[in-house]
Structure 1
Amino acid sequence: MVLRRKTPADRLFYAILGLSLALIAVIYCAVNQPASHLRFEVKERQKISVFDGQRLILQNVDSVAISSAGGENRILLNANDFTEDPHFVATYPEMQQFFIKQSQVHQLMSQHQHIFLQSGDHSSSTPYPVNIQPKRKLRDLPFEFWFQLAVSSIGFLLGCWIWALRPNEIAPRIFALLNAAYPVFAFSAAIYSTRDLALNAELFRVLVAINTGGALLYGCALISLFLVYPKQLIRTQWLWAIPIFFSGWWLLDTLFLLPEPSMGGDLPITLQMLSAILCMVWQWRANRHDPRAKVALRWFALWILVSSGAFVFLVQSTQLLDIQLNMSQAYSFGFFLFVTIGIAIGLKRYQLFSLDRWAFGILYWLAGAILLVLLDAFLVMMLSPLMSLSLAILICGLVWLPVRGWLQARLLQRKKLSDSELFERILQVSFAVNEQERQLQWKALLNDLFQPLNLEISEHENNSQIEDNGLVMYTPQVAGLAAMRLSYPQQGHRLFNAYDQQLVQNLLPFLAQAVESRVAYDKGVREERHRIARDLHDDLGAKLLSGLYQKDVDQAKQAIRQAIAEMRTIVNGLLGTAVELNMVLQEFEHEVVTRLQSCGIELNWQQNLGDVPITLSYAQYRHYISMLREIISNIMKYANAQSVIIEISLLDSQLVSVICDDGNGFDGETNQSEGNGLKNLRERATELSATLHFQSLPEAKGSRVELIFPL
């Protein structure tokens, strides 16, 4: 038979099942107690007030007497008898007396359906009858009871969640043990701290022992956790020395062998907290070269100081300043949930690197709060409480806030480029003279932004992402720039976080647009240079060469004049100057007349453009004139024509040019035997957004070419 391996879901199921059984047992124990439904309030640590619902029965008395009918079995209760936890009393004899009275009151309530209550200071006062119910109802259980159950259950499930995902690692196991101890001390305290009036003494002793043992187990697990995480500092077997030592301490407290109760509860827990902090310092030194471990430790320190600092600030400092907040012990257990949540996140390492920045902010806030408490505690010894608090706030405002700002600037602020500097650096990348220089500029920008220990080209081409728990960040390939791998930011003093990733993601589109614009600009420059070279070679060069071989002086001068005019046109095109159409056509007419006369061909030039001045851009001029020249050249070479008619007209903002000859005829739509001439004509027509039609006239009377383009 093959046993199925347990999955995380199985482990969580068993944890929830065990928790459910424990909750049922705790609730059963809490409701199966006699109930008086009275509410007792202790003020100034000695004055007792008693309420029946909203009705005030006794107010500010030093003691309360309860008895059966006729004043029998009279029991006198003072402020100590209403304390939530027996460890709050001063001595063990007082604790034993506390348990004796609890047993007496519980026995009285269990044996009688009616008891009587009156002030212990005035035996002559009228007794107040109280009806005793044998059991409490669920609705009778106070909010503090459910609060302790809720926070400890959440902590327990968080611990089990981490352990279920990583059951074979020692840190999650210890973390699970730590959170298993949470409901141990919280569940037991929930029963006795929210009791109605009394519990059975034996049950009370057992619950207190369980509470103390659970609290000490929690502290042992916390110390052990920081001895193994992030780096194991001691051998695993040596961890057993911690619970063995505190087990002896717990036994001495349970047997009342310590000098006083506070040494059995408060002292060992305080020592455990200090030991955990020392272990964190040890871990910090051991991991000083590991940024991930340092961030984890900083995160742990935040949550431990949040929990313990809040407890000190709300409980210890209020007692020091003699301020009565009357906060129940139950709510202090909620602070431990902060520790659980913080360590759970740290152990899971889920986006831990995104929490580093504001963890510092909370630590500074806590430091300011602790400084205020300590300063006020010092001043209260010399001044009145009100004056000392005001003076402490003033000193903190004048001293701590500037110091905090200086520390934040020193420790938190990293080298950061301003928006204008960032914009300038991106432009430097895009304006680099070549791709190699552009890549170097991009690397320099990333280096100044994040100061990584390693910056190298990567094959990673996806979106920017963070890996290896924040040690490494990848930037994708963009606009011809290679993907980059950055590791150990700020010279290894921190990890990459979500802000870094978002910064890169915001930069990439801007960088891509800038680089692509630069590349497009360079491409346009190259194309423009190529066009100028072509114009100089094809037009200006041809005219100069033609003039060079002219034997007639007048013809040579005319060719030179045409070359000068062509050069002027090219220069005007470079300067962006528009060309007047009438001037272009006059020069072209003179050119065509000369060329056709040399071949014995007669020209009939017809032009009808009206009086409105028309200008052409340089590109329009070059393509238009080149197409007309190509058409005339084809007529001279292949048509055997005697005459040529050229009609230039304006129709609906379109320039219409029609060239007819009386030669052999030619259908340019289907005939492809004339080489590249027709191909060049069609390419130029496309550049000009023009339509070009070839047609042979009927009865072999020549051909007709129509060129139309919008102005």
Structure 2
Amino acid sequence: MRLAPEQLISAATLAAVLAGVAAVWLATHAPSLGLVWSVADDRVMVAPRPDRPAPAGLSEPRAVTALEGGGQRLAIQPGDLTPEPDVTHNAMADYRGFMARQGHLATAMRAPDARLHTAGGAVLETPPQATRPLSALHWSFWLQLICGALGLITGAAVWAYRQNDAAAAYYALTGISLAAAAISAAVYSTRELALSREVFGWLTVCNKAGTLLYTAGFIAVLWHYPQRLGRFPLGPLLVVSYALLTLAVLRYWLPSMDLAVRLPVLVGFCGAIVLGVIQWRRSRGRPLARAGLRWFLFSWFFGSSLFLVLVFVPPLFGVNAASAQGPAFLLLLIIHLALAAGILRYRLFELDRWWSHAWLLAVSGLLVCALDLLLIHLLGLAGPIALSLSLALIGWLYFPLRQWLWSWLADLGRAAPTPLVQRVTEVLARPEDEPDVAWRVLLKQLYEPQEIHPARDLSRDAVSEGGLALDVAGAAPAGGLRLRYCRRGTRLFRADDLALLADLRQLFDQVLAYRQRLQDAVNSERDRVARDLHDDVGARLLTLAQTLEPAAAERARAALDEMRAVVRSMHVRRWPLAVLLDDWRAEVAERCEAADIALDWSVPAEIPDQDLDGVAALDLSRILREVVSNAIRHAAPDHLQVVIACDERGMDLAISHAYSGDDPGTWRPSLGLVNLRERSARLGGGITWQATDGWLHARWSTAWTALTADSPRMEVAAATPDAQAGG
């Protein structure tokens, strides 16, 4: 049965409140003498509380050696005040004896005749207090209480909205475990001196159960998140195994707390590392899953590593770190909240941005702190000379080294600035690319998206789909674009990508405007040169052709036609195919008439509505002129047939005439033939000659994409001598 999320969250909140109330009741009703207890120089010290009258003879802190009450006298040891008994009493037999001793101390503290014996032999009358005031509770009590309550509520909130998600269910288990471990520890770690054996025993069992099940729950989460690694029921098996370890703690089955708690947690930590590596490899190419996993792993491994270093590892080497457990629960809470952000995938495109910075800050902070501790250890000297030496080393060597280390670590996480100016200028330096095409090329270079889709209804730039997509607004009619899967799916789009896009758009518009102004200046100068050629040189060639002998006049007219073609190619506007076909027919008809050759001109009934680029039109004109010239010069036919055909791919041209010469396959390559083949290839086609039944057929073709592209091929626009070269 699926419960409403509000019901689950309300139930978890109520449970957290009830657990907090129970913890406060247990803490305030624990045995109390109304004193402040501490350990100094391996001696137990007591002092009066500032909010109540001091007992007789206790005007200042004093060392105490024994507690007397209820007919028994018990020596007081520094270990009695330990916040975490399994740290100072690792062996299970010692731990069991500590619990029995706590029971005896609690009984003595509740006796009406309770008194303390000082190190000087004095006796302090300290009658038991009915309750401890809230002000007597240590700040770490409230910290652990808050950590446990927030852990429980957060776990329930995540599971409430993902009740069919196994990862969310095991995450809820970690929330319950964190609450059990933190709230129980809040009571016994802030006791005044002792708790009854039953209360203390159950509180420690709850603490150990919470710690073990937290580990089991987290490993199970990694087995299922972001994808399940297999069908093996690892989660239930882990929960049962760690629950049995809790039973072993309760029944004192194992010889030490290391075997019962610390080592299983460390083994679970290592297992989580293995699962984390596997999940990392499996999430390759899935940026949303990878982003969630990044925060998941960072929060767990960094926070857990600190928790283990502060709480679990020191006892393995005989170091007492019991006082660190209370504040260390704050690390577990931070882990827990970060895990929630990963599982819920809440604004991962923003979390993903800070992931590398978080690691940088964490690692660099640890290294700098380690350097500080190393310096303190190495310079742990005494005396004026040692002090002077220390100050000199710190001022001249340590501080510069420390600053260099911090700067070096910071540079590791800083990405090199993107050379936007260079990229924009390189793309817009190709005038054959339309602005829309250049814009798409830039977006591909900067973001390397796996997909780009048109999106016409975008009014502003934005990160969408949880960071999977970047919406790039655009003006009509082209509209906007939606880029998906940044860096080919290796990361999410982030907020700084929007800032980069804004800078790119501004720079692109500026460079595009400059390119347009430059192009306008070039076109203006080209038009001026074209007018001068047409009005001056053209008029002189026409006059010359009218006054020369026929052979020389033919060469003058050829030069005039070549100049006209060059002038046409220099114009900015495109040339309609129908107009060019008319020009070509007029030129060929004029040359055939001068050579007394009959012309058969064939074009499609419906000429395609295509506008040819000026340079492409010049190349086609030169091919046509060269083939006609070769036919007139070498074959001297009485009939010339020109057939032009068009389809959706491009245009095919064929010139046929009578021929009695050598087979085209035996022709000696000449400059004219080479130029014809190069021009035809440049237009996306090829030219061939075939002799059949006394006729020679020259055929060439070209694609519309080559004829209509704005290509900067002005190097071929200049007049060349191959118009007169033999074929």
Q: TM-score range by the shorter chain?
A: 0.5 to 0.7
**SS of residue matched to 2:255:** coil
Cα distance in 2 for residues equivalent to 1:326 and 1:242: 27
Aligned residues of 1:364 and 1:404 also touching (Cα < 8 A): no
The match for 1:277 among 273, 277, 280 is 273
Question: Which residue in the other structure is 1:352 paired with?
Answer: 348
RMSD value over aligned CA atoms? 4.3
1:80 counterpart = 2:79? yes
Q: CA contact under 8 A between 1:32 and 1:134: conserved in structure 2?
A: yes
* C-alpha distance in 2 between matches for 1:173 and 1:396: 50
CA–CA distance in structure 1, aligned partners of residues 315 and 233 of structure 2? 41
1:243 maps to 239
| 1:297 corresponding residue in structure 2 | 293
TM-score normalized by structure 1?
0.63
Give 1:366's aligned residue.
362
Task: Indicate the percent of aligned positions where both proteins have the same amino acid.
Answer: 26
State how 1:321-340 maps to structure 2 within 5 Å.
327-340=323-336
1:465 to 2:462 alignment: yes
Q: Distance in 1 between matches of 2:305 and 2:176?
A: 23
Instruction: Provide Cα deviations, 1:99-124, integer angstroms capped at 9, x if missing partner.
Output: 22211121122231x422123x55xx
Pair 1:116 & 2:112 matched = no
| Alpha-carbon displacement from aligned partner over 1:609-635 (angstroms, at most 9, x marks no partner) | xxxxxxxxxxxxxxxxxxxxxxxxxxx
**Cα offset for 1:282?**
1.7
1:594-609 mapped onto 2 (5 Å cutoff): none
| Matching residue of 1:97 | 97
Q: Residue in 2 aligned with 1:65? A: 66
Secondary structure of the residue aligned to 1:75 is: strand
What residue number does 2:106 align with? 106
Contact 1:49–1:57 (CA under 8 A) maintained in structure 2: no
Could you say if the C-alpha distance between residues 467 and 392 of structure 1 is closer, same or farther in structure 2, counting changes exceeding 3 Å? farther
Q: What is the deviation of 1:79?
A: 1.2
| Pairing 1:170-189 to 2, within 5 Å after superposition | 170-189=166-185
Q: Offset of 1:359 from its aligned partner?
A: 1.9
Provide Cα deviations, 1:151-193, integer angstroms capped at 9, x if missing partner. Answer: 2111222222212222221221111111111111111111111
8 Å CA contact 1:15, 1:160 repeated in 2: yes
The letter for the 2-side match of 1:453 is Q
Matched, 1:499 2:515: no
In structure 2, the residue matched to 1:221 is 217
| Corresponding position of 1:32 | 29
Greater relative CO (CA pairs within 8 A, separation 6+)? 2
- CA distance in 2 between partners of 1:40 and 1:204 (Å): 18
What is the SS of the residue equivalent to 1:212?
A: helix
| 2: CA distance, partners of 1:217 / 1:347 | 19
Change (3 A) 1:60 1:235: farther
Measured in 1, the distance between the counterparts of 2:221 and 2:139 equals 32
Q: Which of 119, 122, 125 is equivalent to 1:126?
A: 122
Residue identity in the other structure for 2:487: Q
CA distance in 1, matches of 2:305, 2:313: 10
Aligned mates of 2:410, 2:334 — CA distance in 1: 24
CA contact (8 A) 1:37 1:53 kept: yes
Is the 2:220–2:234 Cα contact (8 Å) retained in structure 1? Answer: no
Q: 1:141 to 1:378 in 2, by over 3 A?
A: closer
* Structure 1 counterpart of 2:76, one-letter code: L
Secondary structure of the structure 2 residue equivalent to 1:278? helix
Candidates 479, 484, 487, aligned match of 2:484: 487
Letter in 1 for 2:208: T
Q: Offset at 1:319?
A: 9.0
Cα displacement (A) at 1:464: 2.1
Aligned residue number for residue 565 of structure 2: none
Bigger shift: 158-167 or 415-424? 415-424
Cα 1:223–1:322 change in 2 (3 A) is closer
Matched, 1:443 2:440: yes
Does the 8 Å contact 1:470/1:495 carry over to 2? yes
C-alpha distance in 2 between matches for 1:60 and 1:365? 45
5+ unaligned residues in a row in structure 2: which ranges?
A: 528-727
CA change 1:76–1:206 in 2 (3 A) is same
1:366 partner letter: A
| In structure 1, distance between residues paired with 2:10 and 2:167 | 21
Q: Give the 3 Å change call, closer, same or farther, for CA 127–367 of structure 1 in structure 2.
A: same
Q: Look up the match of 1:417.
A: 418
> Map of 1:243-642 to 2, 5 A cutoff?
243-311=239-307, 327-371=323-367, 412=413, 414=415, 416-418=417-419, 420-421=421-422, 424=425, 437-478=434-475, 481-508=478-505
* 2:634 corresponding residue in structure 1: none
Instruction: Check whether the contact 1:466–1:496 (CA below 8 A) recurs between aligned residues.
Output: yes
Structure 1 pair 489–416 and aligned structure 2 pair: CA distance change class (3 A): farther
Equivalent residue pairs, number: 514
Whether the aligned pair in 1 keeps the contact of 2:93 and 2:255 (CA below 8 Å) is no
Alpha-carbon distance between aligned partners in 2 of 1:237 and 1:326, rounded to the nearest angstrom: 36
Deviation at 1:413, TM superposition (A): 5.2
Query: How far apart are 1:351 and its partner, in Å?
Result: 1.4
